[in-house]
Structure 1
Amino acid sequence: MSFDVVISGGGPNGLMVACELALAGVRPVVLEQRTAPTDEQRANGMVGQVVRLFERRGLLGRLTGNAAPPTPAPQFMFAAFPLPLHQLADNPVCTVMVPQRKIEAMLDARAAELGVEVRRGHAVSGLTQKDDAVVVAVDGPDGSYEMEARYLVGADGGKSTTRKLAGIGFPGVTNDRTVARTAHVTVPPEYRDAVTGGLRVPGYGVIRPFLHHRTERGLIAYAPFPDGRTLLSVNTFDLPEGDEPFSIAELQDALAHVLGVQVPLGPPAGDGPHLLRRLSGGQTRVAERYREGRVLLVGDAAHVHSAIGGPGLNLGLQDAVNLAWKLAATVQGWAPDGLLDTYETERRPAGERVTMHTQAQSVLIGPGPQVTALRTLFGELLEKPAVLQQIADLIAGADIRYGSSPASPLAGRFVPDLGPATHSGRPLLVDSTGTLCSVAAPWSDRVDVVTVPVDGATALLVRPDCYVAWASEETTPDAETLRASLTQWFGAPR
């Protein structure tokens, strides 16, 4: 069987690309070096626009177990500042607290439903580009082989083999000062605060749950999850890791270093998987380019940054959906000139904003009284509603706007909820006026026309990634601007 697209990497980003391609009628294959899904604890959930994106695709209920739409989080954090998001009239920060392995398992099942082949134990080892294809060398459990496809997508993480083989540089900075120590633990019952659910430390106070807590010597995150497991993370700035294997005793010493008070910690109870991890340093890097010929990068292969605030899945999964529909259009032959290049022009700014704000947060949680003074000033700024709104939009990725249009504030923005209409992943013309069907008829092979009420607009042209390409507030929308937008994004009419 021949494939249109080879995807290197079977994590959430690679699987999302595969699902979106298959939904669009393109044949992908996923090559994943791991022989089985990992039990390693990575992200603890999803934050921001990606939650709404999953809801738009009809996937959110598979993670939450119910059909309820996402609700904004009443509070969140930024650089260890608690954010009272409930004060905002338009709170964009939605969260779903599920481990990354569950997200990956759901996407793996979805890919199987869509007929995607996932080859586990297979890894890309080489590539050769031709004018109309890319030849991919693969190391598999039964030996090496080659396969040819129209495109190769690198979704193989921060150390991406695909990126290196394509000759794409990965400039950025390395931070050698920090050590992050994280483990599942137990704490004595008397150390659990009955009011907040946080960690009550005699002689110190209460460390609130699911929020970062900063002192001038480090950062603490205490997370008692509903499944009974308790995750404790301690980041230190000038306490290097020891020579011995990481242990809960070392985590306890690091916690005492940051708090100045001893807290007894025990091994985790119950069934695993349990996390016991120590990471030194950190990287902030963005690929020199997201595309080299027929090779494209998504997720950590294109950008790495601090995990502060959990922006990784929000960024990477939206990369995947943005790329997939444009790649599908190119494979199927209806993409207008330059469409595939808009993947980088749209998603690079999103990646650069995430690396910017995670670096800023790293400064604001740093050690020393000078940083404490800076935090005092920043805390005063956060009391202003406009600043709180800007930070919330930044965290959620809701400040991203693709292009601009004077016709409507919705243009270039993430689409309001249209119900099941967006489940198909097809371009949509939402027409509440009944006057636009004939305008869109020449694109009926690739654009569906639906009638769904939308606040603030009489008509919308919606891209498959759920961003608005064109919008009108007029009782009789302008047909010419709609035709221009249809041609710009979805190619020449039949």
Structure 2
Amino acid sequence: MDHAIRDIRDVVVIGAGPTGLALAVALRRYGVDAVVVDKRADSRQEPRASVVWQRALEALRDLGCADGFMAEGLPLARGEFHVAGRCVGAQEMPMEDTAFPVPLGIEQDAIETILRGRMRLWGPDVEWGTEAVGVRVGEGGAEVDLRTPEGRTRTVGCRWVVGAEGSHSLVRKSIGAAFEGERRVNLQCVQLNAVPEWSHPYRPEVTRIFINHGVSLICDPVPGGAIRLFAFLADPDPGRQEPPGRAEMEEVVARATGEEGVRLRPTEPHWANRARFHDRIAARFRSGPALLLGDSAHLWAPIGGRGLNTGLLGAHNLGWKLAAVHHGWCPEALLDTYDAEQRRTALRVMRHMRRNILELPPDRRTLAAIRLILPHVLRSERFTRRGGELLSDFGRNHRGSELSAEGRFKGRSKGGGLRPGDRVPDWDVVSETGPGRLHELLSYQRWSALVTGDGTADLRRITGRYALPVAAFRIRTDALPDGTLLLVRPDGHVGLRARATDRRALTAYLDRWSVQLRGK
């Protein structure tokens, strides 16, 4: 690298969408100098609709943003399914063992405003109108060429560069990572925010899904009595690019609901869009100091806000790992677990999206099957519980990660049903400070060693030998047997599960994933 560099930063994040902003918040909370650049002229964003699910809300709480989201969004407690003009049942959204039992409906411009406000607590705002036009990656860092709003180019040196700029990611191209996958054929999504005149009264807590032959319509409430209308249908004219007009959307809504005479009054600011989709995933999410995040790493149809939520959870996963490696607390191998974990998660989401027949336009045979089966499925407690786990993202885990380990239990019951890599539920617990909720003991700024039963002094002595910040707590809970040790990651997933007396397992885990302090 022999370019003249006058600006040196810890991290350059390219792209000021929700995932890039969330990562910047996470890094700045750890004291990492993260600059965010975006080629857009300013922060004005179309009010794209989205849903933030329960697990992502927990991640946003860790970033200090949850209160802003709760104040701005609408809690969505129920999803109603209408098939061929008839309501066939509902999926109740509330989940247990969390401070956020239901998802939120919220506009993307509000999401970005909240995240930017949080980011500015620790540093400057986004550098708007600043386009990354070149990225060069070396062993010890990267160089990023930035074109300023005045048309000049400056080069910034950085220890890390993160591509969060979307499907045409410059960072991804610079590291030579293939964007594997294909375009979805014969599928389009037409979208409009509007106040409908129809037979379904506005209920701010209810999402309605209408399924009919050749069309699937998702209707999410927004503040003020309006509805976000997302319709998935066939794409006979792929060259058609203009957003749908009111008349086209009225015809689509009538087809989906089976109701004649539907009228739509578009909202101000106006939001309408026509989109096509690709199912793609980068061959790798990391190459040395360069990392990929959000749509730069994985892309699919925007059904149910899965892209946004997967991206936010990816930022939550990457933030603490990048900070720990940057500060010298952990070896660089920790960043490889981000690549493996997030890529595995994205592949699972992608497979689920392709099989999600309830939100894709059905043919007549599929529609008949849905009419027959869906009412029984929605009455099944087992199925609705599993559906809630998938929708909330509480059912997703990192069990296959190298970062997930288990000590030897020698035939005794492991208990609790909680496995390494799982998200830790927000159980009722009793700790040294009294009764409370488990998540109140956890922190995104450190690891947490939880012991059921007696003894944490020895834990503190062991963990104190390492650079990794760890706090130890003795707890009681009906969810875990006495004598259990859980080492919980900053993002709330179990890293190590062992017997409370198994100091060898704890030491081996820390030897692998943390740097030992000198003289300790």
Structure-1-length-normalised TM-score: 0.85
Q: Which residue pairs with 2:212 in the alignment?
A: 215
> How do 1:41-80 residues align onto structure 2 when only pairs under 5 Å count?
41-65=47-71, 74-76=77-79
Q: Indicate yes or no: 2:144 matched with 1:136.
A: yes
The list of structure 1 runs, each at least 4 consecutive aligned residues, that deviate by more than 6 angstroms after superposition, is: 77-81, 86-93
Q: Which amino acid aligns with 1:462?
A: V
Q: Which residue pairs with 2:228 in the alignment?
A: 231
Residue 434 of structure 1 and its aligned partner are, at CA, apart by 2.8
Q: Indicate yes or no: 2:456 matched with 1:434.
A: yes
Please, which runs of 5 or more residues in structure 2 have no aligned partner?
Answer: 1-6, 408-413, 427-437
Q: How many pairs does the alignment contain?
A: 473
What secondary structure sits across from 1:482 in the alignment? Answer: helix
C-alpha contact 2:215 2:361 (8 A) present in aligned 1: yes
C-alpha contact 1:415 1:468 (8 A) present in aligned 2: yes
What secondary structure sits across from 1:253 in the alignment? Answer: helix
Residue 135 of structure 1 and its aligned partner are, at CA, apart by 1.0
Q: Which residue pairs with 2:251 in the alignment?
A: 253
Whole-Å separation in 1 of the counterparts to 2:91 and 2:446: 37
Residue 355 of structure 1 and its aligned partner are, at CA, apart by 0.6
Distance 1:62 1:146, change over 3 A: same
Q: Indicate yes or no: 2:397 matched with 1:390.
A: no
Q: Which residue pairs with 2:433 in the alignment?
A: none
Q: Which residue pairs with 1:448 in the alignment?
A: 471
C-alpha contact 2:195 2:225 (8 A) present in aligned 1: no
Q: Which residue pairs with 1:205 in the alignment?
A: none
C-alpha contact 1:236 1:258 (8 A) present in aligned 2: no
Residue 156 of structure 1 and its aligned partner are, at CA, apart by 0.7
Q: Indicate yes or no: 2:480 matched with 1:477.
A: no
Q: Which residue pairs with 1:96 in the alignment?
A: 104
C-alpha contact 2:28 2:122 (8 A) present in aligned 1: yes
Q: Which amino acid aligns with 1:6?
A: V
Deviations 1:130-187 (A, max 9, x none): 2211111111113111111111100111222221232211111212312322212233
Residue 419 of structure 1 and its aligned partner are, at CA, apart by 4.6
Q: Which residue pairs with 1:40 in the alignment?
A: 46
What secondary structure sits across from 1:286 in the alignment? Answer: strand
C-alpha contact 1:223 1:231 (8 A) present in aligned 2: yes
* 490, 504, 510: which one aligns with 1:486: 510
Deviations 1:359-384 (A, max 9, x none): 11158733322212443575345544
Q: Which residue pairs with 2:3 in the alignment?
A: none
Q: Which residue pairs with 1:21 in the alignment?
A: 27
Residue 302 of structure 1 and its aligned partner are, at CA, apart by 0.6
Q: Which amino acid aligns with 2:423?
A: F
C-alpha contact 2:179 2:283 (8 A) present in aligned 1: yes
What secondary structure sits across from 1:163 in the alignment? Answer: helix
Whole-Å separation in 2 of the counterparts to 1:383 and 1:255: 27
Residue 477 of structure 1 and its aligned partner are, at CA, apart by 3.4
C-alpha contact 2:91 2:378 (8 A) present in aligned 1: no
Distance 1:197 1:88, change over 3 A: closer
Q: Which amino acid aligns with 2:366?
A: V
Q: Indicate yes or no: 2:284 matched with 1:304.
A: no
Residue 283 of structure 1 and its aligned partner are, at CA, apart by 1.2
Q: Which amino acid aligns with 1:489?
A: W
Q: Which amino acid aligns with 1:171?
A: E
Deviations 1:423-468 (A, max 9, x none): 5522233456333221222126632345566553454322122212
Whole-Å separation in 2 of the counterparts to 1:12 and 1:217: 32
Q: Which amino acid aligns with 2:191?
A: T
Whole-Å separation in 2 of the counterparts to 1:64 and 1:99: 12
What secondary structure sits across from 1:317 in the alignment? Answer: helix
Residue 294 of structure 1 and its aligned partner are, at CA, apart by 1.9
* 387, 392, 395: which one aligns with 1:399: 395
Residue 491 of structure 1 and its aligned partner are, at CA, apart by 3.2
Q: Indicate yes or no: 2:282 matched with 1:274.
A: no
Q: Which residue pairs with 2:410 in the alignment?
A: none
What secondary structure sits across from 1:437 in the alignment? Answer: helix
Residue 333 of structure 1 and its aligned partner are, at CA, apart by 2.0
What secondary structure sits across from 1:284 in the alignment? Answer: strand
Residue 275 of structure 1 and its aligned partner are, at CA, apart by 0.8
Distance 1:20 1:197, change over 3 A: closer
> How do 1:24-423 residues align onto structure 2 when only pairs under 5 Å count?
24-65=30-71, 74-76=77-79, 83-85=90-92, 94-116=102-124, 118-142=126-150, 143-188=152-197, 191-194=198-201, 197=203, 210-237=207-234, 240=237, 246-259=244-257, 261-268=259-266, 272-279=268-275, 281-336=276-331, 338-362=333-357, 365-375=360-370, 379=374, 380-381=376-377, 383-403=379-399, 405=406, 407=414, 409-410=417-418, 411-417=420-426, 418-423=438-443
Q: Which amino acid aligns with 2:187?
A: T
C-alpha contact 1:45 1:98 (8 A) present in aligned 2: yes
What secondary structure sits across from 1:443 in the alignment? Answer: coil
Residues 452-461 or 289-298, more deviating: 452-461
Structure-2-length-normalised TM-score: 0.81
As a proportion of its length, which structure holds more strand? 2
Residues 404-413 or 99-108, more deviating: 404-413
C-alpha contact 2:396 2:422 (8 A) present in aligned 1: yes
Identity of aligned residues (%): 27
Q: Which amino acid aligns with 1:121?
A: G
Distance 1:304 1:434, change over 3 A: same
Residue 8 of structure 1 and its aligned partner are, at CA, apart by 0.6
Residues 481-490 or 91-100, more deviating: 91-100
Residue 75 of structure 1 and its aligned partner are, at CA, apart by 3.4
Please, which runs of 5 or more residues in structure 1 have no aligned partner?
Answer: 199-207
Residue 47 of structure 1 and its aligned partner are, at CA, apart by 1.2
What secondary structure sits across from 1:115 in the alignment? Answer: coil
Whole-Å separation in 1 of the counterparts to 2:222 and 2:299: 27
Whole-Å separation in 2 of the counterparts to 1:37 and 1:422: 33
Residue 264 of structure 1 and its aligned partner are, at CA, apart by 3.9
What secondary structure sits across from 1:222 in the alignment? Answer: strand
C-alpha contact 1:185 1:266 (8 A) present in aligned 2: yes
Whole-Å separation in 2 of the counterparts to 1:227 and 1:375: 33
Residue 235 of structure 1 and its aligned partner are, at CA, apart by 2.5
RMSD: 3.2
Residues 340-349 or 400-409, more deviating: 400-409
Distance 1:58 1:128, change over 3 A: closer
C-alpha contact 2:49 2:228 (8 A) present in aligned 1: no
What secondary structure sits across from 1:355 in the alignment? Answer: helix
Q: Which amino acid aligns with 2:207?
A: F
Residues 86-95 or 5-14, more deviating: 86-95
Residue 240 of structure 1 and its aligned partner are, at CA, apart by 4.1
Residues 332-341 or 239-248, more deviating: 239-248
Residue 338 of structure 1 and its aligned partner are, at CA, apart by 1.6
Whole-Å separation in 1 of the counterparts to 2:348 and 2:502: 34
